[in-house]
Amino acid sequence: MSMLTAEHRPYSPQATRPGRQPQPPRPTPRTPARPPPGRRTSADSAAMRPRPMVSPAPGRTPPPLPSRGATGSPSVMSGREGSTFTRRGETVHSPPPAELELFAHHCRVFYFTAAPPEDSANYISRTLAALPPAHRAAYTRVQSSLRAQAHLHHLRVRISSFHALMAATAPNSGLSLPARSELAGRRAQTERADRLGLFIRTWGGSAGALEPFFRGLWSVLRVQSRGPPPRGGAGPRCVVWEVDDAVFLESGGPEFMHEAVTIMKGVLGFTDQPLTAGPRLRRVSHYPEDPATATQDQRMRSGSDPFTDRAPLPVVQPRKSSGRGPAPPPPPSRRRPSTQAPQYATERRWPPEDGGAASPLLPPCSPNLHGPVTPTMHSTPTLAPTSPISIATTEDDDEAEEEADLNKARFRLWTFPTHINDEEAENLMTLFPRYVSKTDQRFPLRRARAKDLELGSDTWMPVTVDGVTATIPRVEAEDDAGVLRAGTGRMWVGTDERGGGWGGGGWFRFKRWWRRLFGRG
């Protein structure tokens, strides 16, 4: 039996030498682990040797794996920011609410103030440049939202300031008391020339965004001083100039708007008549939404959103049955409505016209101004049904509708003053620069034609605003009405009569006749 065991035992050289430990077999260069298909060099054999795996130190994140698109071609696993895919087990967190609120504060200061501080601009640029790709969307959303709110806020301020200025400025109120007592006198003419010359030197020194306005004003003075209609003028009637309010609001800023209205209405004495009702300015009903809250609300899109911080679900304790039935309902006097009335939950009313806009730089406050806060089904604070006025929070669609209403074209008629004669109008024309007065203007001759049966209307169209009716020519019949388009807007001969002596003195009329004799009138 012992002979069979020794005979079938495998041969081992270490077993014949007692006292030595068995050693593992060493690979030789002649027996590689993987036989190559062809001949290999020593460098190839070294490259084929397996590299030892180095485990990362405890507490450190292993480096990301290289992207498959390293050769320049886009890869499915590579992100849009140039990074690789997210490793398993890692969670992308939302930006800290404190840092997001600080960023929103600097955005408010930068966008809502007239003179933005340089510190806020530097902070915004520095923060956006150092953001990780996962937080860029949240910060960009906050910046875009505040920029849109600031644009709408400044538009409200400009329009309300313009309408307040138009209502507070009376014709000829910019002149002194002695000049106002005699509007056609020498003192009033001197004040008008001095104030208009200063205004032109300040704002009309060079061609730019204000060139259409100054060209239109010069054209009004030119056609008013040309004499009777056969000469291309208005004669004894006043010229009517139709101008869009956006020329005052958007051309040169608030300072130009204030000075232009003061010169046109307070110094020269133009009278105005709006052709459309003014916009219904809404009160800023709430402070810009908390960016952290807005981000969390907008992130609740899907349960698989990786940017949502998943909070632990509350543990619901099972209720123990007491063996009794349900409690009886309370008496009618103690019952409370479970939900708010639908008409109050969806009602939106315009605030009073004299309501001032709340500053967006003030601390957050309740948007409700006339009643206690009542929660609704969507956690939106509204007024109680007993309050006299209901102001709901401004939504995106309401702000877009309001912005479209504020940007709507609103025209206004400016009627030439009756106390300025042709001689003074020509003197005022000499104050304008050469680039404005290089082209001559005159009213076209009216061409009488039969009434257009397709239009079914006359040449003139009545417009009633605030109980005052104005007559304007139709756009398709401007040739019949003798409409002139010069600079900005359009102008025509109105119905108001000018004062006595509108043609100027005898010496002025003689010089004008002499100029016309040589073709210079």
pLDDT digits (tens, 9 = 90+) for 3-26: 444 444 544 444 445 555 556 556
472-507 pLDDT, tens digit per residue, is 999 888 888 889 999 999 999 999 999 888 988 888
CA–CA dist 377, 379 (Å, integer): 6
Residue 256 pLDDT exceeds 60: yes
pLDDT of residue 517: 81
76-90, 274-288, 439-453, 494-508: which range is least confident on average?
Answer: 76-90
Reported as a single tens digit per residue, the pLDDT across 295-350 is 444 444 444 444 445 555 555 555 555 556 566 665 554 444 444 443 433 344 44
Count of positions (residues) in the chain: 521
Indicate if the pLDDT at residue 394 is higher than 50: no
pLDDT on residue 507 = 86
Q: How far apart are CA 358 and CA 328, in angstroms?
A: 49
Instruction: Give pLDDT, residue 505.
Output: 85
The chain-wide mean pLDDT, for the chain, equals 73
CB 197 within 8 A of CB 232: no
Residue appearing with tokens 């632990």: 312
**Higher-confidence position of 384 and 200:** 200
Judged on CB neighbours under 10 Å (0-12, 13-18, 19+), 484 is buried
Query: Highest-confidence range of 208-222, 361-375, 437-451, by mean pLDDT?
Result: 208-222
DSSP string covering 260-306, please? HHIIIIIIS--EEEESSPPP-PPP--SPPPPHHHHHHHHHTT-TT-T
Percent of the chain predicted with pLDDT > 70: 58
Range of weakest confidence among 61-65, 238-242, 473-477: 61-65
Q: CA 188, CA 174: separation in Å to the nearest integer? A: 11
Specify the pTM.
0.62
